[in-house]
């Protein structure tokens, strides 16, 4: 990997990998998030259920990819896990500790262990502050360091993400998109968290920069034993970085699988359709392969279809799909799937 990161490993003494505990780092069970819709002058608006009973697990040093089209609830799932939006129901555990039940003060402490990298590197850093201030903010909030300790830590962090420690006094507008995302990652790992939620962390970057950031994330994972929830809509990116993938449709997880199985033998018709939409970098194969084009639009989340949420667009739709929601079953080849074709 990058010389920069390797070189900087020797300079950091402040952060060390953790011992392996047993069990998953993050466990989510039946997570549900409702948004209240604005009503008219009279009467209250309805509710929009953005996330419907999502369950997932992320192990130590594991990257779980979370994919789905816009509006499928993948970002909301990530944000609800960190309680940046309040979950309506369900349970989120981080190293066995129930996050949804924490009071204000405890939640603030728990934030040390779960951090987020946001999509837009242009708005995730405060333009009125030098970047050293932004990166050092987690340290200011959670640790009381002397001035010199603080600036040493900030310098270490900058070097860990492949930037020069001297950049601490620069303003965000002086950096490129990729550099800003490095800065955002530096801020997120400042407290040596257990879980990092990357919400479309590379979507706003161009392809060559994407690769650099993905490699940086992999290096940091190996070094600090991080677990990632990697939210993305770009399947190629997810294939590159994720160990397992969960596919969301209309607020539900329809399939989870080890990455290879998901891409080689998708079990859910929706996953199949998603994969067939990814262009193949070979013109002849691209022309010859069969494409599954979904009909229609994503249904209104405020008014979801009965039975299986996907039945309105599914090419294999059967009568049972319209009335009965499919149960979660083990998929052939590993993982789980939620489809009547497999029951």
Residues that bind other proteins (CB under 8 A): 1-4, 82, 84, 107-109, 111-112, 115-116, 118-120, 122-129, 134, 137-138, 141-142, 162-164, 167, 170-179, 184, 187, 191, 208, 211-212, 215
Compare residues 172 and 335 and give the one whose CB is closer to other proteins: 172
Compare residues 10 and 208 and give the one whose CB is closer to other proteins: 208
Structural tokens at position 196: 């990092």
In 3-state terms, what secondary structure has residue 24?
coil
Give min distance, CB of 73 to other proteins, in A.
18
Give min distance, CB of 239 to other proteins, in A.
15
Give min distance, CB of 254 to other proteins, in A.
28
Give min distance, CB of 56 to other proteins, in A.
20
Compare residues 138 and 266 and give the one whose CB is closer to other proteins: 138
* Residue of 21, 234, 204 whose CA lies nearest to 119: 204
Compare residues 58 and 163 and give the one whose CB is closer to other proteins: 163
Compare residues 38 and 287 and give the one whose CB is closer to other proteins: 38
* CA dist., res. 287 & res. 279, Å (int): 10
Task: At 51, give phi and psi (nearest 5°).
Answer: -130, 125
Angle, CA of 229, 158 and 209, to the nearest 5°: 60
Structural tokens at position 278: 């990814």
* CA dist., res. 16 & res. 250, Å (int): 40
Compare residues 135 and 308 and give the one whose CB is closer to other proteins: 135
Which residues have CB under 8 Å from 179's CB, separation 6+? 163
Positive or negative: CA dihedral 53, 197, 135, 145: positive
In 3-state terms, what secondary structure has residue 29?
strand
* CA dist., res. 289 & res. 291, Å (int): 6
Contact 161, 131 (CB under 8 A): no
Give min distance, CB of 121 to other proteins, in A.
9
Give min distance, CB of 127 to other proteins, in A.
5
Compare residues 31 and 131 and give the one whose CB is closer to other proteins: 131
DSSP state of 165: G
Residue in this structure with the two tokens 């494409």, named with its chain if needed: 291
* CA dist., res. 5 & res. 1, Å (int): 8
Q: Ramachandran region of residue 132, left (φ > 0), alpha (ψ -120 to 50) or beta?
A: alpha
Give min distance, CB of 215 to other proteins, in A.
7
Give min distance, CB of 257 to other proteins, in A.
26
Contact 341, 311 (CB under 8 A): no
Structural tokens at position 224: 């600090």
* CA dist., res. 6 & res. 196, Å (int): 21
Quick one: which H or E segment has residue 26? strand 26-36
Give min distance, CB of 181 to other proteins, in A.
11
Compare residues 58 and 161 and give the one whose CB is closer to other proteins: 161
Compare residues 63 and 312 and give the one whose CB is closer to other proteins: 63
């Amino acid at each position: 990997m990058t010389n920069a990161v390797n070189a900087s490993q020797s300079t950091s003494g402040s952060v060390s990998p953790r011992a392996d505990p047993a069990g998953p780092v993050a466990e989510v069970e039946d997570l549900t998030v409702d948004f209240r819709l604005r009503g008219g002058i009279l009467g209250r608006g309805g509710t929009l259920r953005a996330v419907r009973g999502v369950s997932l697990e992320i192990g130590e040093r594991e990257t779980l990819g979370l994919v789905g089209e816009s509006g499928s609830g993948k970002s909301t799932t990530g944000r609800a896990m960190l309680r940046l939006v309040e979950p309506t129901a369900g349970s989120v555990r981080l190293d066995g500790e129930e996050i949804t039940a924490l009071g204000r003060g405890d939640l603030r402490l728990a934030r040390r262990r779960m951090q987020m990298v946001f999509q837009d590197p242009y708005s995730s850093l405060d333009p009125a502050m030098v970047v050293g201030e932004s990166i050092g903010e987690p340290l200011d909030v959670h640790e009381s360091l002397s001035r010199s300790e603080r600036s040493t830590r900030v310098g270490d962090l900058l070097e860990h993400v492949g930037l020069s420690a001297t950049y601490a006094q620069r303003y965000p507008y002086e950096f490129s998109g990729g550099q800003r995302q490095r800065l955002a990652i530096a801020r997120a790992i400042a407290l040596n968290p257990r879980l990092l939620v990357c919400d479309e962390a590379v979507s706003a970057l161009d392809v060559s920069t994407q690769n650099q950031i993905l490699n940086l994330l992999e290096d940091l994972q190996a070094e600090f034993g991080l677990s990632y929830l990697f939210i993305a809509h770009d399947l190629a990116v997810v294939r590159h970085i994720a160990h397992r993938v969960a596919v969301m449709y209309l607020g539900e997880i329809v399939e989870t699988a080890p990455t290879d199985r998901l891409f080689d033998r998708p079990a859910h018709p929706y996953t199949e359709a998603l994969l067939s939409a990814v262009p193949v970098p070979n013109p002849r194969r691209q022309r010859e392969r069969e494409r599954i084009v979904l009909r229609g639009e994503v249904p209104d989340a405020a008014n979801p279809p009965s039975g299986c949420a996907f039945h309105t667009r599914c090419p294999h739709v059967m009568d049972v799909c319209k009335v009965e929601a499919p149960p979660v079953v083990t998929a052939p080849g590993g993982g789980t799937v939620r489809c009547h074709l497999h029951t």
